[in-house]
Amino acid sequence: MKDKLNLIPLYYFSASGNTKYCSQLVQRGFQDKSVSIELIRIKSVRDLTFPDKSKSYPAIGLAFPIYEFMVPRIILIWLNQLPTANQTTPVFIIDTSGGLPCNSAEIAMDLLRKKNYEPIGVLEVPTPTVEPFFDNKYYPAGWNREILDRCYYFGALLAKKLRKEDNRFIDLRLGRFRFRKLTKYMYRFFIEGWSSSAGLIRFDPSKCNRCGACERVCPMAAINIQQIPNLINHNRCMFCATCIRTCPYHAIKISYRPKKSPPSAIWTPKSRPGYIDPEKYHYSKNPSLGSGYLRLLIGMMRVKKILMNKRING
Ligand SMILES: Cc1cc2nc3c(=O)[nH]c(=O)nc-3n(C[C@H](O)[C@H](O)[C@H](O)COP(=O)(O)O)c2cc1C
């Protein structure tokens, strides 16, 4: 059984590193329950890797951030090209966002079901988002134990489930914006209708020295330096900002913050307060208990218990 469990691949796409970090913490949760998973990066639409059809996997994982209230386009392409599994294979989903996932995991689950994958768990993680449109200065949030524990706990629960110790669907969604239909309309509006980063991304040819770094890192293969000054194919671009972070000459910028230093260029999960190296992370023995009201209630019950004990014992 253990050998079989060692084969779990977790495919992830991560532009600014959050999804990778959360996946590493989930991996840690698995590891501590003696199940190893392998993180496989979805790097470019030109070079997508998939589970091997000839192998049988105890489960596979898929991790992605939310873009424009939807599954990012690179993941939709991945899901589209994913070969149908020979036998029903469990799949788990990790979904990072700035707090508005809009139940996009549901869309991914639908597509996975069509390919003979059966969802066994979903994790939604609100992350400290510092994408180009949220300047670091104005959005100084960091990581906290609640987020880290949430990821770890998901991994540990899944490991238990795969060891047949637990049969429940592991649902660690944020509980908000669960309206699937709304999500679908939003998708149509944002991705299909307004599918263009033109006007949002500004390219300055005078700063560019044609090193090709942006072309190499673009996950959507939307950049062609031969086409300068029309560097970016805006119909392909999904606005992940990888090129903005990568360009050593700051030739690519966000159009509506032209005077600021390139936002998020040096941002990684490590640079946010509260970062703990997944290798050094330990699950806190006292994980936070959900909402503030619940905690208040439990706190009041504890106080009441102490007072009653005092009264009984004199
Ligand atoms: C183009 C784009 C669109 C985004 N749209 C949303 C969104 O609709 N809702 C949300 O909560 N976060 C949104 N985010 C924030 C990301 O989901 C969040 O920063 C995520 O943690 C990034 O993951 P990564 O670091 O692995 O790339 C968006 C980010 C980008 C770049």
Mean pLDDT, 10 residues at a time, the chain of 314 residues = 66 95 97 94 96 92 91 95 95 92 88 96 88 53 90 95 85 70 62 60 92 96 94 90 89 68 64 91 67 69 73 62
pLDDT at residue number 111 = 94
Structure confidence at residue 174 (pLDDT): 84
Q: What is the pLDDT of residue 266?
A: 62
Query: What pLDDT, on the 0 to 100 scale, is given for residue 258?
Result: 44
pLDDT value at residue 312:
65
* pTM of the shown model: 0.85
Q: Domain coordinates of the chain in residue numbers? A: 2-184+269-289, 201-254
- Predicted pLDDT at 2: 46
pLDDT recorded at residue 234: 87
Indicate if ligand 1 lies below 6 Å from the C-beta of 65: yes
CA 104 to each of CA 60, 124, 300: distance values in angstroms, whole numbers, following the listed order: 18, 10, 37
- Residue 140 has a pLDDT of 57
With a 6 Å cutoff on the Cβ, whether 131 touches ligand 1 is: yes
The CATH number given to 201-254 is: 3.30.70.20
Q: How many A from CA of 56 to the centre of ligand 1?
A: 33
Buried b (16+ CB within 10 A) or exposed e, 47-68: eeeebeeeeebebbbbbbbbbb
Q: How far, in Å, from the CA of 97 to the mean position of ligand 1? A: 5
For ligand 1, say whether the CB of 23 is within 6 Å of any of its atoms. no
Please report the pLDDT score of residue 191 as a whole number: 55
CATH code matching the domain that covers 2-184+269-289, chosen among 3.40.1080.10, 3.30.1490.20, 3.40.50.360, 3.40.50.620 = 3.40.50.360
